[in-house]
């Protein structure tokens, strides 16, 4: 790489990171102020802290409050280091709305590029479920009974010509992204969007697929690849298997990783590092073996396994129960259920033995055989975990494909430690909320990080005069009808837009149902998460200063300055649900409420409150509901996380 690729005049006789740090200091002291941006001491301080992490290739926790300009700092280091190592940096964001903040036309990457006259090569690595599946679209178009059927022909007509023709593409042409169809609800999108039960490896259209084309494109980035936490963890979890199958890993070799809103990485890791077993998928894959000329003993073993799988999942359905505020159903284990699991395990052992004989006869398609064997290996490993004295964490999910048994080995920390944190490269955790009571131990321990640098920088904003926090500890407001009445009154009195944060989809759905009977619903625009694509909803909320946005996932990342967001209502304190994952963490803790529930709730509440003040001129009110506010210990801990000068006032 020639010297002019560096963003400064590089002297090979001097340490690169020292020169990069000097250049970054010049950017903050001179170049950005010349472009009209204010000089921020917090950015300078953070820049010197990050220099250590990049020079020593260490993990660092960068806790920086709203308004410190932390994004500019980590972007400058990530880009500089990427150009030095000739490998792109990964910026992993907690969700799609955070990615949007970075990459939109007036976002932080575009601003840096404009102010510094720097051409930044940044490309998006979106999760597969953000893309149309061409096969599912064909199926959906053929089913007039499906919800949203009127949209599917429009989507088909919007596809580029090369999808249907064998001609060669001259250049990268992105298509089929979830954001291209903002009017579709999540339920309608599910009919056409990619899901884990699509077998892309044997799809004849994979080289014309929007998802595949985008993957080829982002892998060639020289500076930045922007993706979600989920996508990064999927990369980690599938890395070895993809290499074994002769596929490229999801992400290319990279120079450094920034986890924006890094306190949420554990959740993404838990979602990625799981095994999902589903009867319909098992049956569709195992029956591929019946398509060839096979011996009768193998055919009988396959049929027995299908019957046993069906019995097992019937039993799982009967033995699972819903958990409030969670989409994970609890599985009630008993001896009968364990016996059903072991019986399937034995039948799959038999099939694997039969396949050894069969493969020697060369009657089966080698490619299909490999896919089936990989799948059987995964199922066998997942089922074997139940034979160990320490059972894995498991739960049941229910969706359009039926029920799935989800199994999470108790080794999330070990996988992260081995495949992420043991690598000798700079890893930055960036967020306004990484510590609890001044300590980073809760976050470090949850991720299995033994050693890391850390620092905290407070927000420069005048919270004392700009933010009012009202909290309800009234027993009367525990009643849903009374809380609704109080909320409608707050919404009616608000001069700007309001964000209502719910801890679960069930509570949001109940609120939405109740609002249908309120006259206010005719006077103000109510926007509900799930009714259309999320960035489309956020844009509509920002454009209408009197609207109300009701959400479950926007505790982090939402950045709406000005009167469009002048009130945040926390519907109830965001304690973790009593689902199997948190139950397992509580079981491992000496003081579960203090060590698991309270730190989780405080981090999430701080994030939710952080949606209100986004610029020095913003002001407004935060309202907190929650019956736990009547517990003096809880109220005291919440008072302690208030920004400097802000006191909890009674509602």
- Per the CB < 8 A criterion, the answer to whether 551 and 502 are in contact is yes
Q: In this structure, is residue 419 part of a structural domain?
A: no
Q: In this structure, is residue 256 part of a structural domain?
A: yes
Asked if 616 and 642 sit in the same domain, the reply is yes
- At 3, the pLDDT band (50, 70, 90 cuts) reads very low
pLDDT tens profile 257-296:
999 999 889 888 888 888 889 998 899 889 888 877 788 8
Q: How many CA atoms lie within 13 A of 115 on its CB side?
A: 21
Angstrom CA distances, 451 to 333, 415, 443, stand at: 38, 16, 12
- At 14, the pLDDT band (50, 70, 90 cuts) reads very high
Q: In this structure, is residue 420 part of a structural domain?
A: no
Average pLDDT, stretch 333-350?
93
Asked if 440 and 404 sit in the same domain, the reply is no
Q: CATH code at 57? A: 3.40.50.300
Cα–Cα distance for residue pair 635/473, rounded to 1 Å = 9
Asked if 169 and 312 sit in the same domain, the reply is no
Q: How many residues does the chain have?
A: 651
pLDDT of residue 1: 36
pLDDT of residue 80: 96
Q: CATH code at 321? A: 1.20.1440
Cα–Cα distance for residue pair 319/82, rounded to 1 Å = 51
Q: Tokens 């010349």 appear where?
A: 34
Asked if 267 and 292 sit in the same domain, the reply is no
Asked if 249 and 319 sit in the same domain, the reply is no
Across 127-136, 200-209, 366-375, which has the greatest mean pLDDT? 127-136
Q: In this structure, is residue 257 part of a structural domain?
A: yes
Q: In this structure, is residue 417 part of a structural domain?
A: no
Instruction: Show Cβ contacts of residue 120 under 8 Å, excluding neighbours closer than 6 positions.
Output: 79, 109, 112, 113, 223, 224
- Angle, helices 480-493 vs 505-515, to 10°: value is 70
Q: When comparing pLDDT for 79 and 360, which is higher? A: 79
Q: In this structure, is residue 426 part of a structural domain?
A: no
Average pLDDT, stretch 216-236?
93
Average pLDDT, stretch 237-249?
83
Per the structure, how many domains does the chain have?
4
Q: In this structure, is residue 70 part of a structural domain?
A: yes
Percentage of the chain exceeding pLDDT 70: 96
Asked if 101 and 240 sit in the same domain, the reply is yes
Asked if 97 and 49 sit in the same domain, the reply is yes
- At 169, the pLDDT band (50, 70, 90 cuts) reads low
Asked if 286 and 253 sit in the same domain, the reply is no
DSSP codes of every residue in 312-375 = HHHHHHHTEE--TT-SPBEE---HHHHHHHHHHHHHHHHHHHHHHHHHHHT-S-HHHHHHHHHH
Q: In this structure, is residue 415 part of a structural domain?
A: no
Query: Nearest-CA neighbor of 282 among 432, 184, 382?
Result: 382
Cα–Cα distance for residue pair 569/297, rounded to 1 Å = 63
pLDDT tens profile 300-323:
999 999 999 999 999 999 999 988
Asked if 37 and 153 sit in the same domain, the reply is no
pLDDT of residue 4: 46
Asked if 403 and 547 sit in the same domain, the reply is no
- At 387, the pLDDT band (50, 70, 90 cuts) reads confident
Query: Nearest-CA neighbor of 471 among 615, 598, 325, 609?
Result: 609
pLDDT tens profile 564-619:
999 999 999 999 988 888 888 898 889 999 999 999 999 999 999 999 999 999 99
Tell me: pLDDT of 120 over 70: yes
Q: Indicate the average pLDDT of the chain.
A: 90
Range of the domain at 78: 1-7+15-121+221-273+432-460
Asked if 156 and 47 sit in the same domain, the reply is no
Instruction: Show Cβ contacts of residue 288 under 8 Å, excluding neighbours closer than 6 positions.
Output: 368, 371, 372
Asked if 330 and 388 sit in the same domain, the reply is yes
Q: When comparing pLDDT for 534 and 24, which is higher? A: 24
Reported pTM: 0.83
């Amino acid at each position: 790489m020639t010297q002019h690729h560096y963003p400064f005049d590089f002297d090979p006789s001097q340490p690169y990171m020292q020169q990069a740090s000097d250049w970054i200091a010049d950017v903050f002291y001179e170049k950005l102020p010349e472009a009209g941006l204010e000089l921020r001491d917090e950015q300078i301080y953070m820049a010197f802290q990050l220099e250590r992490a990049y020079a020593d290739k260490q993990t660092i926790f960068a806790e920086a409050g709203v308004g410190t300009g932390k994004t500019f700092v980590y972007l400058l280091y990530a880009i500089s280091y990427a150009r030095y190592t000739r490998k792109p940096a990964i910026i992993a964001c907690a969700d799609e709305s955070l990615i949007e903040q970075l990459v939109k036309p007036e976002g932080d990457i575009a601003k840096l590029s404009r102010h510094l006259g720097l051409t930044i090569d940044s490309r998006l690595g979106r999760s597969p479920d953000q893309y149309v599946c061409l096969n599912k679209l064909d199926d959906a178009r053929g089913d007039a009974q499906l919800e949203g059927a009127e949209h599917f022909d429009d989507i088909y007509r919007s596809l580029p010509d090369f999808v249907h023709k064998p001609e060669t593409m001259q250049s990268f042409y992105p298509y089929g992204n979830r954001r291209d169809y903002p009017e579709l609800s999540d339920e309608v999108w599910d009919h056409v969007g990619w899901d884990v039960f699509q077998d892309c490896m044997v799809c004849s259209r994979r080289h014309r697929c929007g998802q595949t084309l985008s993957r080829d494109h982002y892998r060639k980035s020289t500076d930045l690849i922007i993706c979600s936490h989920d996508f990064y963890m999927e990369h980690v979890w599938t890395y070895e298997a993809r290499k074994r199958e002769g596929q490229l890993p999801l992400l290319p070799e990279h120079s450094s990783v920034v986890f924006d809103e890094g306190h949420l990485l554990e959740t993404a890791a838990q979602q990625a590092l799981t095994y999902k077993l589903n009867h319909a998928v098992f049956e569709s894959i195992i029956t591929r073996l019946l398509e060839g000329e096979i011996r009768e003993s193998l055919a009988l073993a396959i049929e027995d396994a299908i019957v046993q799988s069906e019995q097992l999942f019937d039993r799982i359905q009967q033995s699972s129960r819903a958990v409030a505020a969670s989409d994970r159903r609890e599985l009630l284990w008993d001896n009968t259920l364990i016996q059903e699991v072991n019986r399937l395990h034995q039948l799959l052992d038999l099939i694997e033995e039969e396949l050894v004989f069969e493969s020697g006869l060369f009657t089966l398609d080698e490619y299909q055989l490999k896919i089936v064997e990989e799948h059987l290996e995964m199922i066998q490993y997942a089922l074997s975990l139940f034979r160990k004295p320490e059972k894995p964490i498991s739960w049941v999910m229910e969706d359009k494909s039926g029920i799935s048994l989800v199994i999470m080995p108790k080794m999330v920390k070990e996988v992260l430690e081995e495949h992420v944190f043991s690598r000798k490269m700079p890893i930055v955790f960036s967020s306004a909320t990484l510590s609890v009571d001044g300590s980073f131990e809760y976050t470090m321990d949850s991720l299995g990080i033994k050693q890391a640098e850390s620092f905290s920088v407070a927000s420069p904003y005048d919270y004392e005069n700009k933010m009012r926090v009202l909290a309800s500890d009234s027993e009367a407001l525990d009643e849903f009808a009374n809380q609704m009445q109080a909320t409608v009154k707050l919404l009616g009195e608000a001069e700007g837009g309001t964000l209502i944060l719910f801890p679960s989809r069930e509570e949001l759905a109940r609120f939405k149902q109740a609002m249908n009977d309120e006259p206010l619903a005719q006077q103000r625009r109510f926007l509900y998460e799930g009714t259309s694509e999320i960035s489309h909803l956020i844009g509509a909320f920002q454009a209408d200063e009197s609207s109300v946005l009701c959400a479950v996932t926007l505790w982090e990342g939402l950045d709406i300055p000005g009167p469009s967001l002048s009130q945040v209502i926390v519907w109830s304190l965001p304690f973790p649900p009593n689902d199997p994952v948190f139950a397992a963490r509580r079981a491992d803790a000496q003081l579960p409420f203090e060590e698991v529930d309270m730190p989780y709730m405080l981090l999430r509440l701080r994030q939710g409150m952080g949606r209100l003040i986004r610029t020095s001129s913003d002001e407004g009110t935060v309202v907190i509901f929650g019956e736990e506010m009547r517990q003096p210990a809880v109220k005291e801990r919440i008072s302690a996380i208030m920004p400097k000068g802000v006191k909890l006032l009674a509602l």
